[in-house]
Amino acid sequence: MIFITKLVLSPVTFGGYRQPLRKANGMRNGGHKYDYNPIETDVVIVGAGAAGLRAAIELAREGVDVLVLGKRRHGDAHTVWAAGGINASLGNLDSDDRWEIHAADTIGEGHFVNDPRAVEILAREAPDRILELRDWGCPFSLTEDGELNQRYFGAQSFRRTCFAGDMTGEAILGTLVAKAKEEGVSYLEDVYVTKLLKSGGRVNGAAGFDMQSGRRLLFGARAVVLAAGGYTSIYRRGSSRPDENNGDAMALAYEAGAALKDMEFVQFHPTGMIEPEGMDGRLVTEAVRGEGGRLYNSEGERFMERYSPKHMELDARDVVARANYREIREGRGTPDGAVLLDISHCDPDYIKDRLPNMYEQFVEQGVDITEKPMKVSPTAHYGMGGIEVDPRTCATAVEGLFAVGESTAGVHGANRLGGNSLAETVVFGKILGSHLADVLDDDLLPPVPLDEGAVQEHFAALDVLAAGTGGGERDPGELIDELRDLVWVHAGIVRTDDGLREGIVKLRDLKERAGELAISDASPSRRFEHVLNLRAMLTAAEAVMRGALAREESRGAHHREDFPEEADGWQKNILCARDEGGDMYLWTEPVGEVPAEIRKALDEDYSLDYHYLE
Ligand X SMILES: Cc1cc2nc3c(=O)[nH]c(=O)nc-3n(C[C@H](O)[C@H](O)[C@H](O)COP(=O)(O)OP(=O)(O)OC[C@H]3O[C@@H](n4cnc5c(N)ncnc54)[C@H](O)[C@@H]3O)c2cc1C
Does 421 interact with ligand X (rule: CB under 6 A)?
yes
- Closest contact distance (angstroms) between CB of 6 and ligand X is 24
Among 4, 227, 314, 465, binds ligand X (CB under 6 A): 227
Whether the Cβ atoms of residue 253 and residue 228 lie closer than 8 Å to each other: no
Does 191 interact with ligand X (rule: CB under 6 A)?
yes
Binding segment for ligand X (CB under 6 A), chosen from 76-84, 104-112, 271-279, 515-523, is 76-84
Residue 540: partners with Cβ closer than 8 Å, 6 or more residues away: 231, 234, 246, 247, 250, 251, 263, 383
Q: Which is nearer to ligand X, 406 or 553 (CB)?
A: 406
CA 133 to chain centre: 21
- Closest contact distance (angstroms) between CB of 173 and ligand X is 7
Binding segment for ligand X (CB under 6 A), chosen from 49-57, 308-316, 358-366, 437-445, is 49-57
Among 15, 110, 174, 229, binds ligand X (CB under 6 A): 229
Residues tagged active-site: 269, 289
Q: Which is nearer to ligand X, 324 or 420 (CB)?
A: 420
Binding segment for ligand X (CB under 6 A), chosen from 103-111, 123-131, 226-234, 452-460, is 226-234
Distance CA 258, CA 252 (A): 9
Binding segment for ligand X (CB under 6 A), chosen from 137-145, 403-411, 437-445, 542-550, is 403-411
Does 487 interact with ligand X (rule: CB under 6 A)?
no
Q: Is 248 helix (H, G, I), strand (E, B) or coil?
A: helix
Q: Which is nearer to ligand X, 109 or 248 (CB)?
A: 248
Q: Which is nearer to ligand X, 255 or 502 (CB)?
A: 255
- Closest contact distance (angstroms) between CB of 10 and ligand X is 22
Does 79 interact with ligand X (rule: CB under 6 A)?
yes
Among 193, 284, 491, 577, binds ligand X (CB under 6 A): 193
Does 405 interact with ligand X (rule: CB under 6 A)?
yes
Does 425 interact with ligand X (rule: CB under 6 A)?
yes
Among 44, 221, 225, 228, binds ligand X (CB under 6 A): 228
- Closest contact distance (angstroms) between CB of 242 and ligand X is 12
Q: Is 89 helix (H, G, I), strand (E, B) or coil?
A: coil
Does 83 interact with ligand X (rule: CB under 6 A)?
yes
Query: Considering CB under 6 A, how many residues would be counted as binding ligand X?
Result: 42
Among 36, 99, 192, 362, binds ligand X (CB under 6 A): 192
Exposure letters 521-556 (e unless 16+ CB within 10 A, then b)? bebbeebbbbbbbbbbbbbbbbbbbbbbbebebbbb
Does 433 interact with ligand X (rule: CB under 6 A)?
no
Distance CA 393, CA 220 (A): 22
Q: Which is nearer to ligand X, 228 or 295 (CB)?
A: 228
Q: Which is nearer to ligand X, 52 or 116 (CB)?
A: 52
Does 52 interact with ligand X (rule: CB under 6 A)?
yes
Determine the angle formed by the axes of helices 596-604 and 99-109, rounding to 10 degrees: 80
Does 85 interact with ligand X (rule: CB under 6 A)?
yes
Count CB atoms within 10 A of the CB of residue 399.
16
Q: Are strands 150-151 and 401-403 parallel, antiparallel or unpaired?
A: unpaired
Write the burial class of residue 27 (CB in 10 Å: 0-12 exposed, 13-18 middle, 19+ buried): middle
Binding segment for ligand X (CB under 6 A), chosen from 70-78, 104-112, 516-524, 574-582, is 70-78
Task: Report the candidate in 287, 317, 324, 309 with the shortest Cα–Cα distance to residue 556.
Answer: 317
Write the burial class of residue 595 (CB in 10 Å: 0-12 exposed, 13-18 middle, 19+ buried): middle
Count CB atoms within 10 A of the CB of residue 290.
21
524 preceded by a cis bond (ω within 30 of 0): yes
Residue 133: partners with Cβ closer than 8 Å, 6 or more residues away: 140, 172, 175, 176, 426
Does 186 interact with ligand X (rule: CB under 6 A)?
no
**Contacts (CB under 6 A) with ligand X, residues 245-274:** 248
- Closest contact distance (angstroms) between CB of 537 and ligand X is 12
Count CB atoms within 10 A of the CB of residue 276.
10
Q: Which is nearer to ligand X, 80 or 398 (CB)?
A: 80
Q: Which is nearer to ligand X, 178 or 346 (CB)?
A: 178
- Closest contact distance (angstroms) between CB of 371 and ligand X is 26
Binding segment for ligand X (CB under 6 A), chosen from 135-143, 402-410, 502-510, 588-596, is 402-410
Distance CA 603, CA 229 (A): 34
Angle at 203 between CA 262 and CA 508, to 5 degrees: 45
Does 58 interact with ligand X (rule: CB under 6 A)?
no
Residue type, 63: G
Distance CA 11, CA 21 (A): 8
Among 57, 59, 66, 77, binds ligand X (CB under 6 A): 77
Q: Is 273 helix (H, G, I), strand (E, B) or coil?
A: strand
Binding segment for ligand X (CB under 6 A), chosen from 185-193, 354-362, 386-394, 596-604, is 185-193
Among 2, 82, 491, 500, binds ligand X (CB under 6 A): 82
Binding segment for ligand X (CB under 6 A), chosen from 65-73, 92-100, 576-584, 590-598, is 65-73
Task: Report the candidate in 474, 443, 464, 279 with the shortest Cα–Cα distance to residue 366.
Answer: 279
**Contacts (CB under 6 A) with ligand X, residues 276-315:** 283
Residue 407: partners with Cβ closer than 8 Å, 6 or more residues away: 47, 51, 226, 227, 228, 229, 230, 249, 250, 253, 386, 387
Distance CA 175, CA 76 (A): 12
* Phi/psi of residue 581, nearest 5 degrees: -80, 0
Among 2, 56, 69, 101, binds ligand X (CB under 6 A): 69
Task: Report the candidate in 455, 403, 468 with the shortest Cα–Cα distance to residue 429.
Answer: 403
How far the first Cα of the chain sits from its last, in Å, is 57
Among 71, 111, 289, 458, binds ligand X (CB under 6 A): 71
Q: Which is nearer to ligand X, 29 or 141 (CB)?
A: 141
Residues engaged in binding ligand X (CB under 6 A): 46-52, 69-72, 77-79, 81-86, 168-169, 191-193, 227-229, 239-240, 248, 283, 382, 405-407, 418-422, 425
